[in-house]
Amino acid sequence: MSFGLQNWRVQTSLLIYRRYIHQCGSFNKIIADLRRLNKINSAKRQKHSHNYMATKSLIPTLANYIERPSTASVEDISTSSALYGPLLSKSFESRQYILKDFRDLILAGDVNKIREAVAHLIGKNHLSTNEWSTYDEKALTDYQECYVKCLLDMGEIESATIFMLHLHREKAKDGKEGTRIVYKHFPLLLQVASNASVRYFPQNAYCILQLLNNFDKAVVESKDLYRSLLYLSSSTLGNYFANYLFFKLWKDGSLQVLSSQQLADVVESMLSVNIDNGDSIKAMEVWNITYKHLSAQVPYRNIRKISSLLIALVTIHHNTTTLLELLVNLPTVFNTLDMIDFKISFYADHDHHLFRTTVQDLKTPLRRTSLTGLLKGYLALGDDKTVQKVVNTIKLHSLLNAKENELLIKTRWSKGKFDECKSKVKSLNLDEAKLAYLFIFSKVASCKDCKFFNDLYNKFSVLPPNDHVREQFTIEVLKRICKVNLRQGIRYYIKFVRAVNQQIYKSNTYYLKIDLERYNLPNNFVKLLHLTPAGMVECLKILARLAVYHQDKVSLKWTIDELRRSGWDFPSIIEYLRAFDNANYLHQVLKPRLLQ
């Protein structure tokens, strides 16, 4: 995903949060939200079309031709051989008018008028003769099906959804006929949406969600639920949609009928999209309600991926007690070698008894990653003798990696050996020292250590922008600013996002006026800034926590709004902030119903 789309997501958000996601059942609201064009008569259309015509000569001609202002344009011009082609081909907006009018004709049910319009469109090569060749023999339901397929072939997912929802409502009294026609083309709509540009993802995702909400549960096949969930969870732009549909379907029992392979794929995709969006709350909910079903018969191809996603989940989640419970009760099938190594590392920080127990279960020869976990654990225990043995074992076959050097630097720093730590990292290769550099920076960011800052800048400037350390560095800079002033931190966060976007397009960032020197940091650090969507969410979580800590209502409201724009729902935000609300501040500023 390009950063331009990331910035677009931050500025415009998903289309639906504040206005309509909780009104999925309201047909009129759905149509009002999806419709691009207001209901407009032919007299107004000719005036609007003036802006899209290469020549003004068509306008007075239309004015003389159209005598009934309330008549649809398609019906008015279907007998003309000269007007329709220019009107349709001049612009996208004009085509939308024609498509809408054609839809209204079909919904009105006058087969004779539909035939006249179809005959004209075929004559002007605006409809495929393959689909409409026997238009003079078609019944109304045939026209309805052809129109849906025609829209989807043109990539008009919004227009197709509006028509399908209209049809579903109008045919509801006839039993399943309307649903049958609508649902018949739903797989094609999914396919078209999957191949569309990511810029249309929010609109397309919303259309799919509304159709599924209006279909009879008994009509929808499990394979289409499966494909829909995979599509909605394929991008963080659809994070909110995916969660909404997943938990709704799980609650009504629709997902339990999926095959073990399908369920594993869906859970894997749901975990991935929530973790990518920094939403550890929702990712944990997905895991908690599905892991018993998964562990019974999980396909082999999903085991390793789900295990790695759980490691990522534990890394970003904030509640240590919850995480210890997850790891201790983890189904055996997910205890991969990588998971065992991660457990050693995690227990080293949070539970020394579990660390010792897990170490006893290790089998020789030890994996390289196991040695990293052992080093971390014995450093935490203060067992210098065993630490040296582990270090010697590592050096027999390789050099210390970045994580291991960071662990050793942290230990020396805790003993007050500051100059020794700085000298040590300077002597190391960048790949081996970058995490240690980041750690030292987090400790000296409030001091004007020009020598270390210059060394860090020279080292980090050669890192590729997508290196995770660059993003972590950006977050540390933001933390430094927030320690001085939270609201300044928010302003600089916005500037950071814009600055990174400008760097991508080689644009001038001077106008942003990012003055880091006022915080004892060199201004050339701006060139090191980098944020991904996940990094933006991490920044917002930091700002939200600080807003609660400082009891800053304005900042809290802003951060909550931004998290919602990023795909978090309100209950997840509140659950996250409660973990840091030691003064019970949320109860003072939020309405009781929001805290339930």
Q: Pick the range with the lowest mean pLDDT from 1-10, 66-75, 504-513, 587-596.
A: 1-10
Average pLDDT over residues 523-533: 92
> Which residue has better confidence, 323 or 596?
323
Per-residue pLDDT reduced to its tens digit, 427-444: 999 999 999 999 999 999
Q: Of 159, 119, 164, which is closest to residue 138 (Cα–Cα)?
A: 119
- In whole angstroms, give the CA distance from residue 581 to residue 596: 16
pLDDT at 79 over 70: no
Q: Pick the range with the lowest mean pLDDT from 179-193, 303-317, 506-520.
A: 506-520
Beta carbons of 202 and 238 less than 8 angstroms apart: yes
- In whole angstroms, give the CA distance from residue 537 to residue 545: 12
Q: Pick the range with the lowest mean pLDDT from 268-282, 490-504, 528-542, 547-561.
A: 490-504
> Which residue has better confidence, 318 or 93?
318
* Residue 507, pLDDT score: 47
Beta carbons of 459 and 425 less than 8 angstroms apart: no
* Residue 568, pLDDT score: 94
Per-residue pLDDT reduced to its tens digit, 442-459: 999 778 788 999 999 999
**What's CA 428's distance to the chain center, in Å?**
38
C-alpha neighbours within 13 Å on the C-beta side of residue 358? 23
Q: Quick check: helix, strand or coil at residue 21?
A: helix
> Which residue has better confidence, 133 or 592?
592
- In whole angstroms, give the CA distance from residue 526 to residue 533: 18
* Residue 71, pLDDT score: 45
**Mean pLDDT for the chain overall:** 81
* Residue 142, pLDDT score: 78
* Residue 195, pLDDT score: 87
pLDDT at 243 over 80: yes
* Residue 94, pLDDT score: 58
Cis bond upstream, residue 522 (ω within 30): no
Sign of the Cα torsion 96, 100, 103, 109 reads negative
Per-residue pLDDT reduced to its tens digit, 201-234: 988 999 899 888 888 777 788 999 999 999 999 9
- In whole angstroms, give the CA distance from residue 181 to residue 144: 8
* Residue 148, pLDDT score: 82
* Residue 134, pLDDT score: 57
With a CB cutoff of 8 Å and minimum separation 6, the contacts of 349 are 376, 380
* Residue 231, pLDDT score: 95
With a CB cutoff of 8 Å and minimum separation 6, the contacts of 211 are 161, 164, 165, 182, 186, 189
Average pLDDT over residues 491-500: 90
For the chain, percent of residues with pLDDT exceeding 70:
76
- In whole angstroms, give the CA distance from residue 501 to residue 132: 48
pLDDT at 398 over 60: yes
With a CB cutoff of 8 Å and minimum separation 6, the contacts of 20 are 29, 30, 33
- In whole angstroms, give the CA distance from residue 129 to residue 141: 18
Per-residue pLDDT reduced to its tens digit, 4-62: 444 434 333 333 333 333 334 454 555 555 444 334 444 444 444 444 444 445 445 44
Beta carbons of 452 and 440 less than 8 angstroms apart: yes
The amino acid present at 84, given as its one-letter code, is: Y
Best mean pLDDT range from 120-124, 151-155, 365-369 = 365-369
* Residue 186, pLDDT score: 87
> Which residue has better confidence, 596 or 505?
596
* Residue 66, pLDDT score: 43
* Residue 319, pLDDT score: 94
Q: How confident is the model at residue 174 (pLDDT cuts 50, 70, 90)?
A: low
Predicted TM-score (pTM) of the model is 0.82
